[in-house]
Structure 1
């Protein structure tokens, strides 16, 4: 089991901002309060982590080079997971928040997930440690 870290908190904050922007600019996306928006961002984080994990595992199985039925089953499961994840997000928010959250339809949720993943990648890239000014990099030829 993965331990939660600072990047997970940053992801939730980025998801909260993106979800807030979707509520602002798309009338079909509705959350009743900031707390519900924050809780929805946490739910989206959990669901998207699970979906990314499942997609990664399925892609590993496809690339493993095993012939025949196992590869076909992995490909079929991947084709089901891709659109199925959007329906999972819609259904979970409907069940968990009982009408307090409406994420629009399939296409709006797809756009939301794409923007969430881009925001996640962007914030992680922004926070990635870089050598700063005055940081000496050791030359392997010296010594």
Structure 2
């Protein structure tokens, strides 16, 4: 939510007509991001398990398709669900938004993980 609203405030091409729409868009982005991460992890497992050049190339191509294609899917999904009320700008702003979302996701997870050894 914070990342999306910062993008709305500072990136002119990212537009939401109101708080409720930005909240729903953030939820949609979170769900899409989590699904893309699951898919990406499955492709990475296939890439690591590949033993032939052809299999590695196919897995690497699949990883590229997931990485690039997910941005296009997000743009279409937002357009389908919210129409003209929400605009994420285009491929470059969505890519930057997704990178920021991934960074904030990782930072929050690091904050929430307890690295201290358990007392025995």
2:90 paired residue number = 105
Q: Which stretches of structure 1, 4 residues or more, deviate above 2 A after TM superposition?
A: 68-73, 135-138
| 2:3 pairs with 1:18 | yes
Q: Alignment RMSD, CA only?
A: 1.7
| 2:119 pairs with 1:137 | yes
2:69 paired residue number = 84
Structure having the higher helix fraction is: 2
Larger Rg: 1
C-alpha displacement at 1:69, in angstroms?
3.7
1:52 paired residue number = 37
In structure 1, C-alpha distance between the alignment counterparts of 2:118 and 2:28, rounded to whole Å:
42
In structure 1, C-alpha distance between the alignment counterparts of 2:83 and 2:58, rounded to whole Å:
35
C-alpha displacement at 1:66, in angstroms?
2.8
In structure 2, C-alpha distance between the alignment counterparts of 1:97 and 1:105, rounded to whole Å:
15
Unpaired segments of 5 or more residues in structure 1?
1-15, 139-143
The aligned runs of 1:53-72 (5 Å cut-off) are 53-72=38-57
Residues 126, 69 of structure 1: alpha-carbon distance in 2 compared, 3 angstrom cutoff: same
In structure 2, C-alpha distance between the alignment counterparts of 1:29 and 1:68, rounded to whole Å:
41
Residues 128, 136 of structure 1: alpha-carbon distance in 2 compared, 3 angstrom cutoff: closer
Unpaired segments of 5 or more residues in structure 2?
none
TM-score under structure 2 normalisation? 0.91
| 2:12 pairs with 1:27 | yes
Residues 90, 136 of structure 1: alpha-carbon distance in 2 compared, 3 angstrom cutoff: closer
C-alpha displacement at 1:113, in angstroms?
0.3
TM-score under structure 1 normalisation? 0.77
